[in-house]
């Protein structure tokens, strides 16, 4: 039985509702650059491999990858973020607009747009080089003002926190969105989740959750810690993604677990973006949270079979 049949969904009807759904994505965007080459010798200067680069690729990463996943599934995405006034920002904007994403970048001439440069040889990553700066308070204040202006025009808000400083005003954004009656989904970062209090749902991965709640010895212990955190932060739900163990949704009425959908794991980078992007879009399209979770789990299973920051298309999801 197909995924759509299992969930009782009709592809045509779901595609129509996804096309009408509007999701506002706010957070840290970055440009993922890939240099692909071959290694056949060790450098005479130091004991390191020499990569002869044959081609390169550029992809929108971070919060921008969340927006890409929404657009790939047929939804309407708006991205609000802070970038530098540089070539990398120009490339990001061009990539996003090519995917049909409404882009609102606040340019800060005092910083560089976050860039992650990966050198890949024989399908293995040799090294990653990161370039990043924290945005100024003035630019961030301007972003908050625009958020307040446009939040009501969207069905769901996703806050994608990569710890680069773009979500300094996350608490105010949660309040504004909830006051407008919009669900707020957050991909969290760091060990202090108090700033996310009042959100609709958080999606930490297993290691992120352990960093905040501590370890657990069994499912009962995990459930107790998750429910305690959910209650402490006044969340409607907490979704813990657990890599090869699947994902578990914790709500006031109990826990719901989904085993992993991945058939072959090739690269897990960006899988969290796919989960929260699919989840938010499905909720914006009127699907109940358990169905949205199933769709997110399936979409993530597609993405981990691809190299680098990737998306699951609507066609790929409906074919499962």
**Burial profile 277-293: b = 16 or more Cβ within 10 angstroms, e = fewer:** bbbbbbbbbebebebbb
Closest by Cα among 41, 29, 183 to 108: 29
Token pair, residue 15, equals 């595609």
The C-alpha atoms of residue 185 and residue 174 are separated, in whole angstroms, by 9
Token pair, residue 172, equals 């105010």
For residue 5, give every residue at least 6 positions away whose Cβ sits within 8 Å of its Cβ, in sequence order, or none: none
Closest by Cα among 27, 152, 100 to 314: 100
Is residue 296 a contact partner of residue 205, using CB atoms and an 8 Å limit? no
- Catalytic residues, by residue number, are 273
C-beta neighbour count of 136 within 10 angstroms: 16
């Amino acid at each position: 039985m197909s995924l759509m049949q299992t969930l009782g969904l009709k592809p045509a009807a779901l595609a129509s509702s996804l096309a009408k759904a509007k999701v506002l994505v706010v957070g840290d965007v970055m440009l993922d650059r890939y240099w692909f080459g071959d290694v056949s010798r060790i450098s005479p200067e130091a004991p390191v491999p020499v990569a002869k680069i044959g081609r390169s690729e550029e992809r929108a990463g971070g919060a921008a990858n969340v927006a890409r996943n929404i657009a790939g599934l047929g939804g309407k995405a708006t991205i609000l973020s802070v970038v530098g006034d540089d070539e990398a920002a120009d490339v990001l904007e061009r990539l996003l607009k090519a995917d049909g994403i409404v882009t609102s970048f606040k340019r800060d001439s005092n910083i560089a747009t976050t860039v992650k440069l990966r050198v890949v040889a024989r399908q293995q990553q040799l090294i990653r080089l990161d370039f990043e700066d924290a945005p100024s308070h003035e630019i961030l204040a301007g972003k908050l003002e625009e958020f307040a202006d446009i939040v009501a025009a969207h069905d769901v808000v996703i806050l994608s926190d990569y710890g680069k400083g773009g979500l300094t005003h996350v608490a105010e954004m949660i309040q504004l969105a909830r006051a407008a009656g919009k669900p707020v989904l957050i991909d969290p970062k760091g060990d202090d989740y108090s700033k996310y209090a009042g959100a609709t749902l958080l999606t930490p991965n297993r290691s992120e959750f352990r960093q905040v709640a501590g370890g657990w010895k069994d499912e009962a212990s995990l459930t107790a810690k998750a429910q305690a955190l959910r209650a402490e932060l006044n969340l409607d739900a907490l979704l813990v993604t657990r890599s090869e163990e699947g994902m578990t949704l914790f709500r006031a009425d109990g826990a719901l677990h989904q085993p992993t959908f991945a058939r072959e794991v090739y690269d897990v980078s960006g899988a969290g973006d796919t989960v929260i992007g699919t989840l938010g879009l499905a909720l914006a399209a009127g699907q109940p949270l358990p169905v949205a979770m199933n769709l997110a789990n399936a979409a993530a299973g597609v993405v981990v079979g691809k190299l680098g920051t990737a998306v699951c298309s609507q066609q790929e999801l409906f074919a499962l």
